[in-house]
Amino acid sequence: MITEIFLPFALGIIMLGMGLSLTIQDFKRVTAFPKAVFVGLLAQIVLLPLLAFALMSVWEIKSEFAVGIILLAAVPGGPTSNLLAYLGKCDAALSITLTAISSLITIVTIPFLVNFAMETYLGEGKYVALPVIKTMLQILVITIIPVSLGMFLNKKFPITAVRFQRPVKIASAFFITIIILGAVLKDRENLIPYLLQTGAPALVLNVLAMLLGFGVAKIARLGFKQASTIAMEAGVQNGTLAIAIATSATLLNNPTIAVVPALYSLIMFVTGGLAAYIFARFNRKES
């Protein structure tokens, strides 16, 4: 119930608060210097799946779990990555831009990556055609509309917007705590078995993905703020979408594959929250 109803509502409210701190100039700056966008997409769309396949080539786990790892690497970042980038004082405009673009690109790339993973690890290919309209509406409703409304209020009522920024950050931390506790309690009976079976590879993928995103950005000579944003986008994947693909009767229809995304969703809140805390300290100094 929490992940299906409360999470989208909470993220929508948080995205509204994020919009209160953004202006049109923030997005113009991103489009005026597109290198960060290109590097971010390279890390997430190309390098992250390669990392997942490399990890599975040396890590022997159940075949369905291996497919789950690849599925996780194939899906885009979600609104949660925008939230953690915001809390980490990263480049929120870049984060939202990367989430929006990667969500559209992965509509094309996910079917091929998942089909290849199914053939490689299960011996049976299955082409996954994602619902394009539904995916676009999810981005629109949870991310773009609330952020746009917040930006509008920031422009019309700037003093009020500044006053609300701190309460929204406090509410964001509260929402994250509730979401983590709710997710843990919901799957408390399966949590230990899941951790024993897939916890290590899920955690390693998560940490390496963030390090990969940050490292590629620094190699490209991007600033710390942009590098930390790309690290978040690479490490915080849309676990909800991955679970939906794995369990949907019209897509993979294999609940076992969903075990890794479910566990990863818990792990990324903890590691992402810790990364946001660290990034916030450095980004505050840089600002």
Architecture of domain 2-282 in CATH?
Answer: Up-down Bundle (1.20)
pLDDT score for 54 = 94
Q: DSSP assignment of 110-132, as one string?
A: HHHHHHHHHHHHTS--------H
Q: Hey, where are the domains in the chain?
A: 2-282
Q: Tokens 């953690």 correspond to what residue? A: 84
Residue 62, SS3?
coil
Q: Are 210 and 231 in contact (CB under 8 A)?
A: yes
Global confidence as pTM: 0.75
Residue 128 backbone dihedrals phi, psi, to 5 degrees? -105, 110
What tokens were used for 275?
């990364």
Helices first, then strands: H and E counts in the chain: 15, 0
Q: Look at residue 73 and give its three-state secondary structure.
A: helix
DSSP state of 77: B
Helix residue spans in the chain (DSSP H)? 7-19, 24-32, 35-41, 48-58, 63-74, 79-87, 92-121, 132-139, 145-156, 158-186, 188-194, 200-219, 224-235, 239-247, 259-286
Question: Structure tokens of 286?
Answer: 């840089």
Q: What tokens were used for 257?
A: 């594959």
**Looking at residue 53, what is its pLDDT?**
94
Please give the average pLDDT of every successive group of 10 residues along the chain, which has 287 residues: 58 71 74 86 94 91 88 84 86 85 80 84 64 62 77 84 75 65 62 75 92 95 93 87 71 77 83 91 78
Residue labelled with tokens 């509502």: 9
